Chains A and B, each alone.
Chain A
């Protein structure tokens, strides 16, 4: 490894010395000393690396990594950081979601039937208008608890790399609550779960699915493929749970949904690929499809016989189809109903699976699936296909052939003895430490005056960031805190008419953030379809589609997937939302009832007795209002230095000199934090000029309000900049 690293080091620094005409000046940092020069250079690299590897860097993390980079070298420090990131315990999602549900005064035993009362016995129900179809009027928005857990982990979990990789993988093997029946608050299955385990509400199934990626972020892609295939959420989402063998007399044939998507989206893609991502071509120069419709029908036979896991794990025996129609069990792997598995031979891409005997065992039936997945995982297209998707989410939209080739070779062989294929730990390291992950940003040291000139490589070496990640980058960069009104939530829940005990949930500091589909067209667990929020080959019309890339590009066109969710309404709403957080904060993220139930209203339903309204005692007359507010999350940005928000930058603005370029230092600092030092030079000039004018209006001294306003304008404009949105 050491040898490899040193090779990479020299490669990177050779690259740094090159300047070609396509490079553009991004920004200039004035420095006084050689030490400051090294500091700024390292900070740019640290910021760049952490932007790839986390949900957004903080200044403290940038400083710490930059220091280490100066001590032991850039790539060694990055490598050390990667090593350390495998240490923290994985921050999971279902347990956290359940915790949040409890914090919101629900008893997880049976959310649907739960009735909450305050201490005076006043029930808080119903909460929503009656459902249109006459179903129960009570629809808990359970998806919020999953979102709560996801946002918290993204913003605050220490295992940032793991979380980022999980988010990346979740955008390859996509399931979603949109068009999926995964918001059910009822408990899964009947009786106790397999092996006496605790039953869980069904809505946690999709969090449980997500944790496949969290737990295996540094594991094997093949293992993930296995777990994904057997997961009941995937089984329901792609309609192969309950998929049974062909019954020609009834004109019934296996569902082809999973057969198609596991090939097209999870493993090999549409075209046969070389290791460098180029298409394998026939003698006519035509790309060769990886599979045909006939192949799909053969694979459809493989994915038959899987049903919900039953109690005790032995639920499904020969002839027993109850797992097909049984109550959902989303947190246990599906099991094979051999009576429903197709026994006929299957002609797969890597060979034929011979017909199974009529008395085939469950293991024999399951072996069909393993073999099919082995074949797809072993397919020549799988490494470049998967590596391209990983690079697109982590580093850049258009990896070069050389970059793909290097990462693909690690996917095929991690260098261990014996070699392991699909070792994600090695693949992620290869992606993040590759010279091409660093080369898009170059720094040059110039004299008179001493300064660092940052240049960027341009269109083929960047990516539009996802809005969800932009939000976490902002929150993390601005030192967000989650604040709750009270230290404890005391619950008194009545279930099925039986009063249960109190439950005390400790003070939360969790980031319980709302779904952001409205602003972003993107949110965890909310991809519009199995094709994710955007397609890997999406090209926005205009300059990008018309661009003729260099021969380094494997597919001969420039793609920019994230543009697929950019439109008039998402750009406006996202701009307004970010401004809301930065300028008007704190961001009030509500508990369940906001918008539906105002206990202070004279028309409150149920009516709140005056004694309860005015009560201050927790245990003698719980005030409904207090109870509701206690579950409410408020998000404050950095409110240090006596400023109510973005205090660090307001403090800096308070001493901003009144002169041309006086705002430059503030902008530089924000640039390092949010734009990896690449803030577009002409944009920067405009911003500094505008801030200088605003500064001049303040007169001789900058008072607190004026400092805050300067900081607001500066922070918002940097978050707003194309250089923040497009990272290198």
Chain B
């Protein structure tokens, strides 16, 4: 007997799966399918209006750091003197988790030394994590920036005093992974019942309900399964695989015994496979009085066809290479392989017939209750290289102004150390990459950090610390952060934006023509 399966179940085991078996409380994206009622916000808006599209491609790429990445290690105070007050406060608060500055502190040969950057808004020098040298370069080139102390809010909370008032609404499930991840996906932090994410609601508006293909299959692509973020009324995540190796380019899953009739692939099928394929191709031509049968038949047929078309499109694509293009590192099941798949989909956009797309990629393992220094030291190079390779791809394709990449995570982490790591907290520092980054209008070659980077102090010394460990009230809401990318991709600041982000009016008045934070400019 016979032949072995070409690839089948013998797929490589991803790092994500390895981690899933571990003990560190990781969640996969499928975790977010928790809801009881459908949000009905979009359906009425949808029928009347979608957002005009000039046909010029635009896409958003969301990088989700699962587990709560420690943003106060990504971006730290630095200063210009050995006794810089901001850095000293950081050092005193983070104690043994604090990263060091070469030239001022002893060289750290294990975890490296902070990489200084200058914020042209405050003139202050900040430190970028030692393992993010490419990101530092991109900041200096005006291609990336940071957004400080952003987090999930229902309404603005000024400080710790306001936080403790019972009449101030707070997100439910404060600082629990499941709740704060769900809030991030849904932008509805007072509920656990949502079945749609803001990315999906936005994609509903961005796509043409009449002329798009029936499932809008390729509009919202996920490298991490059925992500809630991309679920809308019509929009659903189309799951594809990352590239795991140079031999395996990833993408959709072709079905062994399915080929579109008349295609070359059909000629290669064995006799029984042809029979199976013939039946599968005919699925939608049968009569089903049971709508469940009809729905599953059509769904399967559409999926099988979509995989053929998707693979045909991305297999025809070659990613650019050259002396100034850092190749994706697809060897480690990390961000590189996922962004390589995103790059292929973007390059195949014409064949896939897409002018607006959203992508969801996810890297886990950031819940560093323990091993914070070693963990970030080990995990960030993959992130850094992935961002850089993706940037180089976009630049080579002339798409830098057409694709914006933004990062999110469950929540920030406590400033104070628990001895070996940091715990769940709130406000966090995130970064954004793309040609649309607004460098703030300072001198040529300078760049700006957005939001208000807090004084890194604890307890009574900090007006925004809700604990004595540095659990900062976010001064920027994730709604405003999300609204910024929504506005950039084309959502007008009217009821449509509120459809996507129901609480946005607590942070960003209707009709305001500027961007809610300002870190992106129109491109």
Residues of A within 8 A of B (CB): 22-24, 128, 131-135, 139, 141-144, 178-181, 183-184, 239, 251, 257, 260, 264, 270, 397, 456, 458-459, 462-464, 514, 517-519, 521, 528-531, 533-535, 537-544, 547, 558, 560, 563-573, 575-577, 579-580, 583-584, 587, 595, 644-645, 680-683, 686-687, 690-691, 693-694, 697, 706, 709-710, 712-713, 716-717, 720, 722-723, 725-726
Contacts and interface: CB of A to CB of B under 8 A. Distances in A.
Nearest to B239: A569
B226 A565 contact: yes
A584 B255 contact: no
Given A178-B30, A535-B36, A568-B303, 11 more contacts: A459-B292, A529-B34, A537-B36, A547-B291, A575-B258, A584-B3, A697-B271, A709-B270, A710-B272, A722-B296, A726-B292
Contacts of A183: 21-23
Contacts of B365: 132-133
B291 A459 contact: yes
Interface stretch (B10-18, B151-159, B343-351, B452-460): B10-18
A462 B31 contact: no
Q: Closest 7 CB pairs between A and B?
A: A133-B371, A569-B239, A24-B289, A134-B374, A531-B34, A722-B293, A133-B375
B36 A723 contact: no
14 contacts: A134-B374, A143-B21, A528-B28, A528-B31, A529-B31, A531-B33, A535-B33, A535-B195, A538-B195, A563-B299, A569-B239, A686-B279, A690-B278, A717-B279
Contacts of B5: 580, 584
A521 B272 contact: no
A181 B275 contact: no
Given A133-B365, A576-B253, A563 B295 contact: yes
Given A535-B195, A563-B295, A181 B23 contact: yes
B260 interface: no
B294 A577 contact: no
A430 B86 CA distance: 70
B290 interface: yes
B368 interface: yes
Contacts of A572: 252-255, 303-304, 307
Contacts of B20: 178
B295 A682 contact: no
B457 to A, nearest CB: 20
B279 A720 contact: yes
B449 interface: no
B146 to A, nearest CB: 23
Nearest to B306: A568
Contacts of A128: 18
B368 to A, nearest CB: 6
Contacts of A260: 192
Contact of B286 (A270, A529, A686): A686
A135 B370 contact: yes
B290 A726 contact: yes
Nearest to A706: B271
Nearest to B34: A531
Given A686-B282, A686-B286, A726-B296, A567 B240 contact: no
Nearest to A697: B271
Nearest to B225: A521
A528 B34 contact: yes
Contacts of A131: 22
B375 A132 contact: yes
Contacts of A560: 292, 295
B22 A577 contact: no
Contact of B279 (A134, A514, A517, A687): A687
Contacts of B307: 568, 572
B406 interface: no
Given A567-B236, A680-B293, A595 B12 contact: yes
B141 interface: no
A163 to B, nearest CB: 24
A289 to B, nearest CB: 12
A631 to B, nearest CB: 17
Given A529-B33, A534-B33, A543-B295, A139 B8 contact: no
A539 B271 CA distance: 38
Contacts of A531: 33-36
A134 B375 contact: yes
A455 B209 CA distance: 37
B287 interface: yes
Contact of A541 (B30, B233, B290, B306): B233
Contacts of A709: 270-272
B212 interface: no
Interface stretch (B172-180, B428-436, B489-497, B513-521): B172-180
B313 to A, nearest CB: 14
A579 B277 CA distance: 12
A133 B374 contact: yes
Interface string B335-369: 00000000000000000000000000000010010
Residue of B226, B295, B378 with highest tally of chain A CB at under 10 A: B295
B288 interface: yes
Contacts of A712: 272
Contacts of A565: 226
B271 A567 contact: no
A257 B31 CA distance: 16
Nearest to B30: A528
Contacts of A239: 176
Interface in B252-279: 252-258, 270-276, 278-279
A722 B297 contact: yes
B9 A580 contact: yes
A195 B485 CA distance: 60
B292 A571 contact: no
Given A572-B255, A717-B276, A717-B279, A567 B31 contact: no
Contacts of A568: 217, 238-239, 252-253, 302-303, 306-307
B522 interface: no
A579 B256 contact: yes
Contacts of A517: 17, 28, 30
Contacts of A713: 271-273, 275-276
A576 B303 CA distance: 13
B300 interface: yes
Residue of A132, A563, A579, A682 with highest tally of chain B CB at under 10 A: A132
B473 to A, nearest CB: 14
Interface in B178-235: 178, 192, 195, 217, 225-226, 233-234
Contacts of B315: none
Residue of A251, A257, A722 with highest tally of chain B CB at under 10 A: A722
A568 B226 CA distance: 10
B34 A141 contact: no
Contacts of A584: 2-5, 8
B36 A683 contact: no
Contacts of B374: 133-134
B27 interface: yes
B293 A576 contact: no
Contacts of B270: 709
B26 A567 contact: no
Nearest to B466: A251
A308 to B, nearest CB: 17
A363 B368 CA distance: 39
B69 to A, nearest CB: 13
A24 B294 CA distance: 13
B487 interface: no
Contact of A571 (B195, B234, B304): B304
B27 A178 contact: yes
A690 B275 contact: yes
Interface in B22-51: 22-28, 30-38
A245 B32 CA distance: 30
